[in-house]
Chain A
Amino acid sequence: MISALQSLGASTLAMLGALGRSVLFLLRVLLGLGELARRPRLLIQQLHSVGVLTLVIIVVSGLFVGMVLALQGYYTLVDFGAEQSLGVLVALSLTRELGPVVTALLFAGRAGSALTAEIGLMKATEQLAGMEMMAVDPERRIIAPRLIAALISLPLLAGIFTMLGIFGAYFVSTAMLGVDGGSFWSQMQAQVSFGDDVLNGLIKSVLFGLVAGWIAVFNGYDCVPTSHGVSRATTGTVVTTSLVVLGLDFVLTALMFD
C-alpha cells in the first residue's frame, strides 16, 4: 500500500519535473531562434525531412479518409433525400476536425518518432555533447530548425490532407454514388465559411504542429542516453503526442464552434 502510494508520488513528481524541463527547454529554443533566421538553409533541410518525406502517407490517407467519408455519409443522407449535401458534410468534417487531427496523429507516427530517435541517438553517441564542446549550441543548431520545421509543415500537410480528402469524396460521390457534381461543389461553397471553418482548422493545425514538434524534440533531447532509453522516448513521443492532440482538439472544438 505504502509502496503503491510511493510510486504514484514518484511518477507524479517525475512527470511534473519533465513538464517543467520541457517548458524551460521550449523557452530556450525560442529565444535562440535569431540564429536560425540567419541560416535558413538549416530550416529548409529539416522542412524536407520533416515535411516532404511525410507527404506520401498524408496524401494516401487523405484520399482514403475522404472516400470513406463520402460512402458512409451517402448511406445516411440518402434516407432523407439529402445526398446533395454530401459535399458539405465531407468538407466540414475534414476542415474542422479530421484534417488537423488525423494529420497530427500520422505526423507523430512518421515524423515525430523519427525526430525523437534521431536526437536521442545523437545524445547517446555524444554527438550533442561534442557539438557543445565545439562551441556550437545544439539547441540552436539541431533543435530549433526541427521544431520550426514541424510547426510549418503540419498546417501545410493538414491543408493537403483536407483538399485530397474532399477530392476523394468528390470522386466517389460522382463516379460511384451518382451525386450531382454541381450541387456537391455549390452546396459546399455556400455552407463552408472561411472564417469559422477553414481558419479555425488552420489554427488547430498550427497548435498541433507546435505540440507535436515540441514533444518530439524534447523527448529526444531529454531521453536516457541508452538504446532502451531512446526506444522508450520514441514510443513516448507517439503516445504523448496522440493523447495531447486529442485532448487539445476537444478543448479547441469546445471553444471555437458553438
Chain B
Amino acid sequence: MTDRTASSRPDVLIDIRGLVFSRGTRRLFDGVDVTVRRGEVVAIMGPSGTGKTTLLRLIGGQLRAQAGQVNVDGEAVGSLSRRALYRLRRRMGVLFQSGALFTDLTCFDNVAFPLREHTDLPEALIRHVVLMKLEAVGLRGARDLYPAELSGGMARRVSLARALALDPEMILYDEPFAGQDPISMGALMKLIRELNDALGLTSVVVSHDVEEALSIADRAFVLSEGQIVEAGTPAELRASHSEWVSQFLNALPDGPVPFHYPADSMADDLRTGRDQ
C-alpha cells in the first residue's frame, strides 16, 4: 500500500480500494473503490441484487473481502482482531432494512439495550438518554409499545434511535426507504439529513430509491455489475452521459439493462420439452 492512499488523509472516514468479493460463483464486487469523507451523506445506489447490503456488511466487518482494502478510520476492517473489530463497531450505527428490533423487548428496552450492554450507567441516566434518543426520532410517546405494534416506518425510526444510542460517528443505512409510505419516507429523509448535520455524523445510505437518495446525499456512487459505474454529486450524476446511469436514474424498463434475465433462446427452451 502506498502512503498516498486516501485512507491516510484525515478527512476520509471510510475508504474502500479495489474491493473484490464473490459469493458462490457470482462475483459481486470486482474492483470497487468508494471513499466517504467525514461529515457527508453518501448514497450508494444500484439495482436490487448488486450487493449493496453486502457492501455494508463488509464495512461492518461481518464479511471479509477476498481482495482489496476496506479501511474505516485508517483501520483495515478485514484484518482486525475480534476485540478491535468490536471496539470499532461501537462507533458505528447500522440501520437494518427490517429494523432488526428485538421483538420481545419494548421500544424503550430496545434503545436501552446497547447502553445496558456496553456501559455501567445507572438506570436513571439510561432513562434520560433513551428518552432523548426517542425524542430525536419523534417516538418518545411510543416507548412502551412492542415492535409488533409499530408500523414499518416507526420500527425503522426506533431502530435509528437504537443505532444512535451509543453516539456513533457513522451510521450505515440499509435501504431506509424501501416499502415506506410517502409520509414516513419524508420523515426518514429529514431525519437522516438533519441527524447527520446536527450530530456531526457520517452517513452511508444504501438505496435503490433514486430520487430520495439523491435529494439528501452530498455524493453518490452507482453500482452495477460489480463496479462503480458513476460517482459524483447528485447534479453530476443527473448530467451523466452513461446510458446505463440514465436508465437507472430515470427508471426506464429497457435499455442497457435488459428486461429479460439472461436465458437461452425461447425456441430452444420450448423444443427440449423439460428442464434437465
Contact = CB atoms under 8 A, between A and B. Distances in A.
A129 B62 contact: yes
Interface stretch (A75-83, A88-96, A135-143): A135-143
A232 to B, nearest CB: 21
Q: Which of A125, A127, A134, A136 has the most CB of B within 10 A?
A: A134
B98 A133 contact: no
B47 interface: no
Interface residues of B, number: 21
Interface string B95-115: 011101111000000000110
A133 B103 contact: no
A129 B63 CA distance: 11
B118 interface: yes
Given A132-B62, A134-B114, A136-B117, A125 B92 contact: no
Given A126-B96, A126-B98, A129-B96, A135 B103 contact: no
A134 B117 contact: yes
A135 B85 CA distance: 8
B60 interface: yes
A135 B118 contact: yes
Given A135-B118, A136-B117, A130 B100 contact: yes
Interface in A57-116: none
A129 B90 contact: no
A225 to B, nearest CB: 11
17 contacts: A125-B100, A125-B103, A126-B96, A126-B98, A126-B100, A127-B100, A130-B96, A133-B89, A133-B94, A134-B90, A134-B94, A134-B113, A134-B114, A134-B166, A135-B90, A136-B114, A136-B117
Given A125-B100, A129-B96, A133-B94, A141 B62 contact: no
Contact of A133 (B62, B97, B101, B102): B62
B78 to A, nearest CB: 16
Interface in A106-165: 125-127, 129-130, 132-137, 141
A127 B92 CA distance: 16
Contacts, number: 47
Contacts of B92: 133
B98 A137 contact: no
A18 B187 CA distance: 45
A134 B118 CA distance: 9
Nearest to B92: A133
Nearest to B94: A133
Q: How large is the interface on A (under 10, 10 to 19, 20 to 34, 35 or more residues)?
A: 10 to 19
B100 A129 contact: yes
Which 3 pairs of residues, A with B, have the shortest CB-CB distance?
Answer: A130-B100, A126-B100, A135-B89
B87 interface: yes
A134 B93 CA distance: 7
Given A135-B86, A135-B87, A135-B89, A125 B62 contact: no
Contacts of B86: 135, 137
Nearest to A132: B62
A127 B103 contact: yes
A40 to B, nearest CB: 15
A67 to B, nearest CB: 38
A68 B98 CA distance: 52
Interface in B54-94: 60, 62, 86-87, 89-90, 92, 94
Contacts of A135: 86-87, 89-90, 114, 117-118
Nearest to B87: A135
B93 to A, nearest CB: 8
B113 A125 contact: no
Contact of A127 (B102, B117, B118): B102
Contacts of B60: 132-133
A126 B162 CA distance: 15
B174 to A, nearest CB: 9
Nearest to A141: B117
Q: Which of B100, B103, B166 has the most CB of A within 10 A?
A: B100
Contacts of A133: 60, 62, 89, 92, 94
B117 A125 contact: no
Contacts of A126: 96-98, 100
A125 B98 CA distance: 7
Contact of A134 (B87, B89, B97, B98): B89
A131 to B, nearest CB: 8
B117 to A, nearest CB: 5
A224 to B, nearest CB: 15
Interface string A230-256: 000000000000000000000000000
Given A132-B60, A136-B113, 10 more contacts: A125-B98, A125-B100, A126-B96, A126-B98, A129-B96, A130-B96, A134-B94, A134-B117, A135-B117, A141-B117
A65 B263 CA distance: 62
